[in-house]
C-alpha cells in the first residue's frame, strides 16, 4: 500500500525544507537580530574583507537558505543543495561555535547527509 521509503524521503525533505525556509525568511525580515546576536566579531572581520556589509551578508545567507528550502520542498537539485547546505552548516559550526547552534546543526547535517546519500529511484523502462 505505502512505499515507506518514498514517503520517508518526502517527509525528510519537507521537514528540512521547512527549517531552511523558516530561517531564510527570518533573516530577510530580521537581519539586525541575526547580525547582532549570531555573527561574531571574527566573522564580521572576515565579511568586511570581502567588501560586503554585515546586513548584505545576512541577506545572502537568507537567500541561500531559502533556495535550499525551495529545492528540498520541490525535490529539484536536492542532492546539490544538500551538499552546499552541509558545507554551509559546517562553516556555521566552525565560526559561530555556540553549543545550542552546533547541536541544532548536527541534526540538520544528519538529515542533509541522508538526502544527499538517498538512492535515486530506478527507472522501470
| Residue 58 in this model has a pLDDT that exceeds 70 | yes
Q: Which residue is associated with the grid cell 531564510? A: 24
Residue 3: predicted pLDDT: 67
pLDDT band at 37 (very low <50, low <70, confident <90, very high): confident
Residue 101: predicted pLDDT: 77
* pTM higher than 0.95: no
Percent of the chain residues topping a pLDDT of 90: 64
- Per DSSP, helices labelled H in the chain are 4-29, 31-38, 41-49, 54-74, 78-96, 99-117
Q: Report pLDDT digits (tens) over 94-125.
A: 887 677 778 889 999 999 999 999 998 765 44
Residue 63: predicted pLDDT: 98
Average pLDDT over residues 3-16: 90
Average pLDDT over residues 62-74: 98
What is the C-alpha to C-alpha distance for residues 14 and 74, in angstroms, rounded to an integer? 9
Which cell goes with 33?
Answer: 537580530
Amino acid at each position: 500500500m505505502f512505499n515507506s521509503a518514498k514517503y520517508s524521503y518526502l517527509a525528510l525533505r519537507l521537514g528540512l525544507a521547512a527549517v531552511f525556509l523558516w530561517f531564510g525568511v527570518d533573516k530577510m525580515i530580521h537581519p539586525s537580530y541575526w547580525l547582532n546576536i549570531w555573527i561574531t566579531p571574527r566573522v564580521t572581520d572576515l565579511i568586511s574583507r570581502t567588501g560586503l556589509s554585515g546586513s548584505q551578508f545576512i541577506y545572502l545567507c537568507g537567500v541561500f537558505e531559502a533556495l535550499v528550502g525551495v529545492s528540498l520542498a520541490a525535490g529539484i537539485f536536492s542532492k546539490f543543495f544538500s551538499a552546499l547546505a552541509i558545507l554551509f552548516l559546517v562553516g556555521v559550526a566552525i565560526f559561530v561555535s555556540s553549543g545550542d547552534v552546533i547541536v541544532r546543526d548536527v541534526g540538520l547535517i544528519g538529515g542533509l547527509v541522508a538526502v544527499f546519500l538517498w538512492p535515486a529511484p530506478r527507472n522501470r523502462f
